[in-house]
Amino acid sequence: MSEKKLIIEGARQNNLKNINLSLPHNKVIAITGVSGSGKSSLAFDTVFAEGQWRFIESLSTYARLFLEKLDRPDVDAIHNIRPAIALEQKNSVRGSRSTVGTLTEIYDLFRLLYSKVSTPFCLNCGKEIKMWDPSQVVSELIEKHHGEKAIIVFETKETADELKKRGFYRVWLNGEIVDISEFQEEENPPIPPLLKGGKGGLLYIVLDRLVIKDDPRLSDSVEMAWREGNGRIKVIIVNTVQNSKLSTRVQSEGFTVLSFSSENA
């Protein structure tokens, strides 16, 4: 008898007709068949019921008082069975917006799976989205753009007065550096609505202009932009059409479990 397989002998639960099966452990197994062929009888009423029954029997008498124990299945023998967990096929809690995912309760599990093991790609450029930290940004810039001129910027929603008080006077707008003092403010509103021609209201504050090389200035500027931009910076390579937008977050809005919410669909 192999310890690597679940052995079922003479299963007769409900619609099952004295079947014998040998199922490998640690594999994804699909049970298919027409309605009434015994799929649920095998999965839930035989395998799950026996696995749960044996697990509960291994607990103390006191612990068993609080657990619901299923009836043992009609079967000659089951060998090498492990403790079992099953998701019910039906859910009595439903609403007008219920879906197969929410009713079967796998919706949240899939969201967690996709957010942790998927490979996200940018919808605009098609490139893979990666997580970075400041030291990785510096290494990437030195490796790929050593000796080139660059502008380090970060996004903000602060007003012009607030920026000037903190020593920031230049913004990156429509492909060029513009002085904040050129804009006339009314009652000190946030800058983005005032910068006509800016795409999507994005405003980038120029933190530094430098030549990329292995120098403390590069590291200091990247780290400062990182802090000011809440984990997001943009590095503009001068005299090319190539802009490198690097982020500690997996995407600009944050690639998390909530990214897969139906509310964001």
64 and 149 part of one domain = no
| Residues in Cβ contact with 259 at an 8 Å cutoff, skipping those fewer than 6 apart | 115, 251, 253
Q: Per-residue confidence at 216, pLDDT binned at 50, 70, 90? A: very high
62 and 149 part of one domain = no
Residue type, 194: L
51 and 154 part of one domain = no
Q: Which of 53, 34, 43, 51 is nearest to 13 (CA)?
A: 43
Q: Per-residue confidence at 244, pLDDT binned at 50, 70, 90? A: low
- pTM of the complete model: 0.48
In a domain, 224, yes or no: yes
155 and 241 part of one domain = yes
More confident residue, 24 or 57: 24
233 and 142 part of one domain = yes
In a domain, 106, yes or no: no
More confident residue, 152 or 59: 152
Q: Give the domain extent around 61.
A: 5-79
Question: What per-residue confidence (pLDDT) applies to 110?
Answer: 86
pLDDT in tens, 51-104: 888 888 888 888 878 777 778 889 999 999 888 888 766 656 666 677 777 767
Coil, helix or strand at residue 149: strand
167 and 239 part of one domain = yes
162-174 average pLDDT score: 83
Question: What per-residue confidence (pLDDT) applies to 124?
Answer: 76
71 and 167 part of one domain = no
Q: What is the CATH number of the domain that holds 183?
A: 3.30.190.20
In a domain, 192, yes or no: yes
Least confidently predicted of 44-53, 56-65, 205-214 = 56-65
In a domain, 263, yes or no: no
Least confidently predicted of 22-31, 140-149, 175-184 = 175-184
List the beta bridge partners of residue 21.
8
53 and 157 part of one domain = no
Of 96-100, 181-185, 200-204, 210-214, the range with the highest mean pLDDT is: 210-214
In a domain, 109, yes or no: no
In a domain, 101, yes or no: no
In a domain, 122, yes or no: no
Residue where one domain finishes, among candidates 79, 99, 122: 79
In a domain, 22, yes or no: yes
100-109 average pLDDT score: 77
Domain count, the chain: 2
DSSP track, 55-123:
HHHTS-HHHHTTS--PPPPSEEEEES--------S--S---TT--HHHHHT-HHHHHHHHHHH---B-T
172 burial via Cβ count (<10 Å: 0-12, 13-18, 19+): buried
Task: With a cut of 60, say whether residue 39 has pLDDT above it.
Answer: yes
Task: With a cut of 70, say whether residue 240 has pLDDT above it.
Answer: no
40-61 average pLDDT score: 88
More confident residue, 97 or 156: 156
165-177 average pLDDT score: 83
Question: What per-residue confidence (pLDDT) applies to 183?
Answer: 62
- The CA distance from 101 to 118, in Å, is 19
55 and 139 part of one domain = no
Residue where one domain finishes, among candidates 32, 55, 79: 79
Question: What per-residue confidence (pLDDT) applies to 68?
Answer: 75
